[in-house]
Amino acid sequence: MRAGILIIGSLLWDSRCEREAWRRSRLAVDRAVPVKVPIRYGRRSESRGNTFTMTIGIEGSLGQAVVVPCRTTLADVAALLAEAEALWQAEQPGARAGKISASWGCVGVRFHDEPPPTDWFNAWAERFRAKASPVAPVNHDGLLEIEWPAVAAAIAVDVILATATRSDENLPRPEDIADAWINQDQGHERYFFENVRCGIRTPEDLLIWKRIEERRPSWLGRNVDAEAVAILRGEST
């Protein structure tokens, strides 16, 4: 079975050594394909200065993420679980071996076929229930409950793994998202601009950018990715 990773944020561009090593050893990044999925900035992250990071929704306006094929074809569910564990290690370096979830998120799977192959589904669900706790939109069987990403069929994968992170109870407005970056000066705005540069986009990006440009935070004149700014300014006109 051919697998891919649905990436909605910093896993695609973060330069930390463990993430670079994961991408290099596990993924065919040069074959990444843009896909349409319901994503938004929906989770306030303490580790990023209480600014917002991406979450996957069950429904709503579609944003753009990427699916990156795994280098190795999966022979069985043990191989699928190994990819899930490697993904979680990239998400949470230092997590105990075998982990695929925490209180804030978990790895889920979406099979292309509906219904999924019975033997794969049963084995995955059994192991997920033993190892993990679900976080929406991943259900108690470890299935990612979203539509198969539009365009993903072009990369010919049979199953997709993704990290679901727990959204804030009250989803933020674009102004709230922008203000969280505007009101800090520790470089956390990089999360937004790197996503834009790498083609990871939400329907609210231009509203967020408009607020940032209007408020002119001190960091806007320094160390902000010129390519991302050019993209946003071009789209705004």
Q: Taking residues 143-162, what's their average pLDDT?
A: 87
d(CA 111, CA 184): 40
For 71-115, how does the pLDDT look when each residue is reduced to its tens digit (9 = 90+)?
Answer: 999 999 999 999 999 999 999 998 999 999 999 999 999 999 989
pTM above 0.85, yes or no: yes
My answer on whether omega of the bond before 217 falls inside 30° of 0, hence cis, is: no
pLDDT value of position 152:
57
Tokens describing residue 150: 């539009």
Mean pLDDT across the chain: 94
Which of 159-163, 170-174, 192-196 has the lowest average pLDDT? 170-174
Residues in the chain: 237
State the pLDDT at residue 207: 98
Give per-residue pLDDT as tens, 105-148.
999 999 999 899 999 999 999 999 999 999 999 999 999 999 99
Q: Are 155 and 31 in contact (CB under 8 A)?
A: yes
**How would DSSP label each residue in 165-220?**
EPPPSSPPPHHHHHHHHHT--SSTTHHHHHHHHTT-B-TTHHHHHHHHHHH--GGG
**154: pLDDT strictly greater than 90:** no
pLDDT at 60 over 90: no
